[in-house]
Amino acid sequence: MPTFTTSDGVELRYEAFGDGPPVAVLQGGPYNSCDSLIRDLGPMAGSFSWIFHDYRGSGRSGSAPQDTYRFDRIADDLDELRQHLGHSSMAVLAHSMGGFVAVEYALRHPDACDRLALVGTTPCGKPGPMALPLLRALGPARTMKALAMAARFLVLWSWRRPSIEKVQASSAPMSVTQEARRELRAKVASERMPPVDNDNGAHLMRVMPGIDLRPELPRITCPVLVLYGSRDAVMVAGGQMHAHGIANATVVVLPDVGHEPFIEAPDETFARLRSFLAGQ
């Protein structure tokens, strides 16, 4: 397992393989590791030089001080990994929470970011700006289902000690806003990796509702692909925010797809990503 040490002394696990232009991949989370997207992106393995890593405090990377579990610091870790691997620049592909890291990377290291593929991401975690766009995308039936799952968590889980099982229960209302169409839900459930008990998880869960990168989006000048599923209500709202804020964005909406386009609509998703990442 290759590792490198950041400038502030944190050992990070990474995986780098393949030929062609370098593409760094940023997974969602916070209870996740890079293994999920190594598997999901397997069909694209021969197309590019892939770079994956576990964020500080995630997976098989080392823990770090809590105050360094920030998306700007994680973006700087990625740039240090780029330098460690000897790339002058690279494309970045992000899914879900990884979008916060990717946008920070494009803002903080613009000369090293060739292009940005944002798959099911949002630039904003604040409840206020997200509420109305989310409800419009969700619709009344799924809104009621999400509220019922939230009530169930409050009654059965909110008072229990922290555990992976509690994390899974707390994510149930969000899962409703992201769910695949009915005939694909069993497939998604079977192929999605279980949560990882990351040291950074609880801290990142607390900070995400305070993030709003929308004012900074116009500073991103590299080519950007914004791709999301029409059933992924949070990311429908977020994708529209990206499209509004980034002048050089191409938007692709996958009809009747939820939060896992790599699993739910692999052919179209991989075709779109190959073309964009190759600069076509």
- Residue 103: the pLDDT is 98
d(CA 234, CA 237): 5
Tell me: do 41 and 174 sit in the same domain: no
Provide the residue type at 264 as one letter.
E
Of 166, 191, 216, the position where a domain reaches its end is 191
Whether 132 is in a domain gets the answer: no
Of the candidates 117, 87, 128, the one whose C-alpha atom is nearest the C-alpha of residue 211 is: 128
Tell me: do 271 and 209 sit in the same domain: yes
Whether 48 is in a domain gets the answer: yes
d(CA 8, CA 81): 13
For residue 241, pLDDT beyond 90: yes
The whole domain housing 164 covers 138-191
- Number of structural domains found in the chain: 2
For residue 173, pLDDT beyond 70: no
- Residue 29: the pLDDT is 86
For residue 127, pLDDT beyond 70: yes
When mean pLDDT is compared across 69-78, 193-202, 250-259, 268-277, the lowest value belongs to 193-202
Tell me: do 241 and 108 sit in the same domain: yes
d(CA 22, CA 49): 4
d(CA 105, CA 77): 10
- Residue 261: the pLDDT is 97
Q: In Å, what is the CA distance from 263 to each residue of 53, 68, 91, 165?
A: 21, 32, 22, 24
Of 147, 166, 191, the position where a domain reaches its end is 191
Tell me: do 142 and 240 sit in the same domain: no
When mean pLDDT is compared across 52-61, 87-96, 144-153, 165-174, the lowest value belongs to 165-174
Q: Print burial letters for 15-54: b (CB count within 10 Å at least 16), e (below 16).
A: ebeeeebbbbbbbbbbbbbbbbbbebbeebeebbbbbbbb
